[in-house]
Chains A and B, each alone.
Chain A
Amino acid sequence: MKKILIALVLTLMANEIIAQDYKYGKVSKEELLEKFYPLDSAANAAILYNNRKTYLEYQQNEGFMVITEIHERIKIYNKEGFDWATKKIDYYNSSNAREKIINLKATTYTFDGNKIVETDLSKKDVFDQETNKYWSQQKFTMPGLEEGCVLEWTYKIISPFKRIDDLQFQYEIPIKKIEAKMEIPEYFVYNKRSKGYFTVTSKEEKKSSTISLSERIRQGGDSNQHVVTSTVNVTKVDYFTQVEYYNATNVPAMIEEAYVSNLDNYKTAIQYEYSELHWPHEPVKYFSTTWENVVKTIYDNYDFSTEIYKSNHFSDDLNLVLAASPSDLQKITGILDLVKSKIKWNGYYGLSKFNGTRKAYKEGVGNVADINLNLVSMLNKAGFKASPVILSTRSNGVPIFPTIDGFNYVIAAVEIENNLILLDATEEYSAPNILPLRALNWQGRIVRENESSAWVNLTPAKSSDTNSSMSITFNDAGAIEGIRRTQYSNLNALNYRDNYAKMKDDDVILKVEEENGNIEISDFKIVNKSEIYKPIIEMFKFTSEDLLDKIGDKIYFKPLFFDAMTKNPFKLEKRDYPIDFGAPFIMDNKVGIKIPAGYVVESVPENLAIGLSENYGDYRFSIKIEAGIINVYSMLQINTAIFPSANYDEIKEFYMMVVNKNLEQIVLKKG
Chain B
Amino acid sequence: MKKITTLTFLLFNVLIYAQDVDFSSLSIPENLKEDANSVVRFENLAIEIKSQREMIISFQTAITIYNDLGDDHANLTIYYDKRRTINNVKATVYDSKGAVVKKIKKSDFKDYSAFDGISLFNDNRLIHYNHIPISYPYTIYFEYEINTSNTAFIPDWILNGSYSQSVKSAKFSLKYPSDIVLFKAEENFKDFEITKEEKPGFLSYEIKDFAALKREPHTPALYDFLPTVKFGLSKFNLEGVDGEALNWKEFGKWYYDNLIQNTLELPEDTKQKIKRLTANASDPVEKAKIVYEYVQSKVRYISVQVGIGGFKPMLAGDVDRLGYGDCKALTNYTAALLKEVGVASYHTLIFGGQKRSLNKTIASPQGNHMILYVPIANQDIWLECTSQKDPFAEIGSFTDDRDALVLSPDGGVIKHTKIYKTEENLQTTKGNFTIDSEGNITEDVYIESTGTQYDDNLLSNDGKNQKELDIIFKKYLSNINNIKFSKIEVFNNKDAFKFEEKLAFTATNYGVLNGTQLLIPINAFNNGSEAPARIRDRKLPFEISMNFLDMDEVKIVLPTQLKIEYLPEKVELNTKFGTYSIELIKIEDHTYLYTRKLKIVSGNYQKEDYELYRNFRKEIAKHDNSKIILIK
Contacts and interface: CB of A to CB of B under 8 A. Distances in A.
A364 B134 contact: yes
A144 B322 contact: yes
A664 B515 CA distance: 9
B465 interface: yes
A605 B514 contact: yes
A42 interface: yes
Given A518-B531, A549-B627, A665-B519, A571 B121 contact: no
Contacts of A245: none
B533 A514 contact: yes
B113 A143 contact: no
Contact of A346 (B132, B322, B463, B519): B132
Interface string A633-669: 0000000000000000000000010011001110100
Interface string A38-57: 00011110000000000000
Contact of A132 (B112, B134, B304): B112
Most B-side CB within 10 Å, residue of A79, A86, A146, A566: A79
Interface in A238-281: 255
A660 B509 contact: yes
A43 B465 CA distance: 8
B573 to A, nearest CB: 16
Contacts of A125: 322
B130, B463, B464, B465: which has the most chain A beta carbons within 10 Å?
A: B465
A162 interface: no
Interface in B98-126: 102, 110-113, 120-121
B533 A510 contact: yes
B92 to A, nearest CB: 15
Interface in B249-281: none
A438 interface: no
Interface string A268-312: 000000000000000000000000000000000000000000000
Contacts of A79: 300, 388, 463
B481 interface: yes
B321 interface: yes
A134 to B, nearest CB: 11
A233 to B, nearest CB: 47
Contacts of B90: none
Nearest to A558: B512
Interface string B514-526: 1111010000000
User: Interface of chain B, helix or strand or loop or mixed?
Assistant: mixed
B512 A664 contact: yes
Interface in B457-512: 463-468, 470-471, 474, 478, 481-484, 508-509, 512
B530 to A, nearest CB: 8
A503 B215 CA distance: 13
A502 interface: yes
A504 to B, nearest CB: 8
Contacts of A43: 465
Interface in B128-176: 130, 132-135
A664 B513 contact: yes
B324 interface: yes
Given A145-B300, A510-B533, A568-B482, A42 B466 contact: yes
B436 to A, nearest CB: 15
Contacts of B120: 86, 127, 139-141
A256 B249 CA distance: 52
Contacts of B338: none
Interface string B341-376: 000000000000000000000000000000000000
A365 interface: yes
A129 interface: yes
A567 to B, nearest CB: 6
Given A141-B120, A145-B324, A82 B300 contact: yes
Nearest to A652: B482
A140 B470 CA distance: 33
A80 interface: yes
A415 interface: no
Contacts of A345: 132
Contacts of A331: none
A79 B533 CA distance: 40
Nearest to A346: B132
B82 interface: no
Contacts of B534: 510, 513, 518, 520
Contacts of B50: none
A506 interface: yes
A603 interface: yes
Interface string B541-558: 000000000000000000
A131 interface: yes
Interface residues of A, number: 60
B112 A80 contact: no
Contacts of A80: 463-465
A212 B531 CA distance: 78
B67 interface: yes
A551 interface: yes
B629 interface: yes
B324 A518 contact: no
Nearest to B614: A518
A469 to B, nearest CB: 24
Contact of B323 (A129, A145, A556, A572): A145
Which of B112, B323, B482, B530 has the most C-beta atoms of chain A within 10 angstroms of its own C-beta? B323
Nearest to B510: A663
Interface string A496-519: 000000110010001001100010
B302 A131 contact: no
Contacts of B324: 141, 143, 145
Contact of A518 (B111, B467, B533): B533
B322 A143 contact: yes
Nearest to B69: A502
Interface in A183-224: none
B68 interface: yes
A130 interface: yes
B398 interface: no
A571 B471 contact: yes
A566 B421 CA distance: 37
A130 B508 CA distance: 56
Nearest to A139: B120
B46 interface: no
Nearest to A83: B300
B566 interface: yes
Interface in B206-243: none
A556 B464 contact: no
- Return the 3 tightest CB-CB contacts between A and B, nearest first: A364-B134, A42-B465, A127-B121
Interface of A: 41-44, 78-80, 82, 86, 125, 127, 129-133, 139-141, 143-146, 255, 344-347, 363-365, 502-503, 506, 510, 513-514, 518, 520, 545-546, 549, 551-552, 556, 566-568, 571-573, 603, 605, 656, 659-660, 663-665, 667
Interface of B: 67-69, 102, 110-113, 120-121, 130, 132-135, 297, 300, 302, 304, 321-324, 388, 463-468, 470-471, 474, 478, 481-484, 508-509, 512-517, 519, 530-531, 533-536, 566, 618, 621-622, 627, 629
10 contacts: A78-B463, A80-B464, A131-B113, A146-B297, A510-B535, A513-B534, A518-B531, A556-B519, A572-B470, A656-B508
Given A131-B113, A518-B533, 10 more contacts: A43-B465, A79-B463, A139-B121, A345-B132, A502-B68, A556-B519, A567-B481, A571-B471, A656-B509, A665-B514
